[in-house]
Amino acid sequence: MATVVNQERSGTGSSTDRPVLQVEDLRITYRTGRSGRAVEAVRGVSFDLYPRQALALVGESGCGKSTLALGLLRLLPRLGGISGGSIRYQPQGGGDPVDVRALEGRRLRAWRWSEVAMVFQGAMNAFNPVLRIEDQFADTIRAHAEGNGRAARPSMREVRERAAENLRAVRLEPARVLGSYPHELSGGMRQRVLIALSLVLEPQVLLMDEPTTALDLLTQRSIVDMLRELREERGFALIFISHDLALASELSDRVATMYAGRIIETGATPEVFAHPRHPYTSGLMRAVPRVRGGGPGPVSIPGSPPDLAHPPAGCAFAARCPHVRDACHETDPPLETVAVSNGPELTAHRAACLRWRELAEEAAAADDAEQAADAGQTDDAEQAELPQQKGATE
Ligand SMILES: Nc1ncnc2c1ncn2[C@@H]1O[C@H](COP(=O)(O)OP(=O)(O)OP(=O)(O)O)[C@@H](O)[C@H]1O
């Protein structure tokens, strides 16, 4: 087990870093309807997040990504709650780890935002529409100063200075933005302001739900570049939720595919996308259209995720899996280490599929056959060209 823990160390964090967040067998349950029927939306999720690491959570709608993020921040709606497992947070510069499940009241509010902050989906709804941007900064900075028992209330000048510093960090002109109302800014600017607001208390972890949804492609591009630079400059770890695999591949060091409330595949992002070992991850990748064309067109995954009020026996993906066998309906496979990448990002690649070994062998054989066919075609083409070239020189 000790080796697996070491292999988990990954991303840009060094192997001597301690995880900033350790999530162990986390379970989150919603009570729904009059009967209070239980729906387990997160069903035993474990992962370690290292300083400076960026982890992408991918998967279809309803797989539990947002519930997991809200649970990590203890921001679940009233009918939801953590029903099992643990979340441990390691403060920067040492100190005792924090049991996040045990935080309450003032301590919880002080921890949120100043240690772990979240940028929610939909930049407009996250603002108070009647407050200028500088007042939104003032609210955040002052609320946390009070929460931490600071005697003097930060002055508006201090607020403006801190806000300006953070706005410049997200490439916005403070003079243009501070006095504006949210509706006076473009979508891309609002998203940048939200990122600046979430970073103003210098959290160690930033959670983002769909960081670039509803933005045009060029704006998405600049937000992605900015996030990458900011992470390098400030050294926070990032967890982001995305439906967009291209974004995940660009912005994350590590990816976790979620399905029916579980992580069913995880590993260093380049390794997982080059060699997906769970048929669900492969299916998600095949469902993405290729911008440059070539190769087969996108293929959707038939069916939809299971109803978590009645989770199926065995593998939750079995009903939709093109490689299903009878055993898949009986056994719920655990995450198994399928490969270890020994590059700068030492990470265990793990997948929860009974058939991963066979499928990996089949995929390797198909790759070999394809390469042999390509080589054959090249030889044929060269042979076909030779007489012409000869003819041309004669
Ligand atoms: N407020 C709620 N009350 C009851 N059940 C909920 C609630 N929110 C989510 N769920 C249940 O939890 C499951 C996971 O939902 P969640 O929103 O976390 O998924 P998601 O992967 O983040 O989807 P999306 O990408 O659409 O946000 C849903 O299928 C639903 O059954």
Supply the DSSP string of 109-164, one letter for each residue: HHHHHHTEEEE-SSTTTTS-TTS-HHHHHHHHHHHHHHHTT-SSPPPHHHHHHHHH
Q: Give the closest residue (by CA) to ligand 1 atom 5.
A: 30
The CATH number that applies at residue 38 is 3.40.50.300
Do 7 and 29 lie in one domain? The reply is: yes
Do 138 and 254 lie in one domain? The reply is: no
Report yes or no: 98 and 107 within 8 Å, Cβ to Cβ: no
Do 207 and 276 lie in one domain? The reply is: yes
Report the complex ipTM. 0.93
Q: What is the pLDDT of residue 372?
A: 79
Q: Domain for residue 183, yes or no?
A: yes
- Cα-to-chain-centroid distance, residue 107: 26
Q: Domain for residue 271, yes or no?
A: yes
Q: Is 30 in the pocket of ligand 1 (CB under 6 A)?
A: yes
Q: Domain for residue 80, yes or no?
A: yes
Last residue of a domain, one of 202, 230, 246: 202
Percentage of residues in the chain having pLDDT higher than 90: 53
Q: Domain for residue 36, yes or no?
A: yes
Q: Is 41 in the pocket of ligand 1 (CB under 6 A)?
A: yes
Do 211 and 194 lie in one domain? The reply is: no
Last residue of a domain, one of 176, 202, 228: 202
How many independent structural domains does the chain possess? Answer: 2
- Output the CA 41–ligand 1 centroid distance in Å: 7
Mean pLDDT for all residues in the chain:
84
Do 71 and 101 lie in one domain? The reply is: yes
Q: Domain for residue 224, yes or no?
A: no
Q: What is the pLDDT of residue 6?
A: 34
Q: Is 204 in the pocket of ligand 1 (CB under 6 A)?
A: no
Query: In whole angstroms, how far apart are CA 73 and each of 55, 76, 109, 239, 333?
Result: 16, 8, 10, 12, 29
Q: What is the pLDDT of residue 11?
A: 42
Cα distance between residue 371 and residue 342, in whole Å: 25
Of the residues 35, 65, 244, which should be mutated to test ligand 1's pocket, given the most ligand atoms within 8 Å of the CB?
65
Q: Give the closest residue (by CA) to ligand 1 atom 4.
A: 30
Counting from 1 in the atom list of ligand 1, the atom nearest the Cα of 305 is 29
Describe the chain by its helix, strand, coil percentages, rounded to 5: 40, 20, 40
Q: Give the closest residue (by CA) to ligand 1 atom 28.
A: 62
Do 261 and 307 lie in one domain? The reply is: yes
Do 44 and 31 lie in one domain? The reply is: yes
Q: Domain for residue 287, yes or no?
A: yes
pLDDT digits (tens, 9 = 90+) for 23-46: 999 999 999 877 778 899 999 999
Last residue of a domain, one of 175, 202, 229: 202
Domain that holds residue 191: 125-202
Q: Domain for residue 383, yes or no?
A: no
Do 166 and 214 lie in one domain? The reply is: no
Q: Is 67 in the pocket of ligand 1 (CB under 6 A)?
A: yes
Counting from 1 in the atom list of ligand 1, the atom nearest the Cα of 66 is 22
Do 209 and 338 lie in one domain? The reply is: yes
Do 276 and 336 lie in one domain? The reply is: yes
Which three-class secondary structure state does DSSP give residue 191? helix
Q: Domain for residue 196, yes or no?
A: yes
Q: Is 32 in the pocket of ligand 1 (CB under 6 A)?
A: yes
Do 197 and 244 lie in one domain? The reply is: no
Q: Is 33 in the pocket of ligand 1 (CB under 6 A)?
A: no
Do 161 and 255 lie in one domain? The reply is: no
Q: Collect the ranges in the chain with pLDDT lower than 70.
A: 1-16, 122-124, 146-152, 289-296, 341-346, 377-394
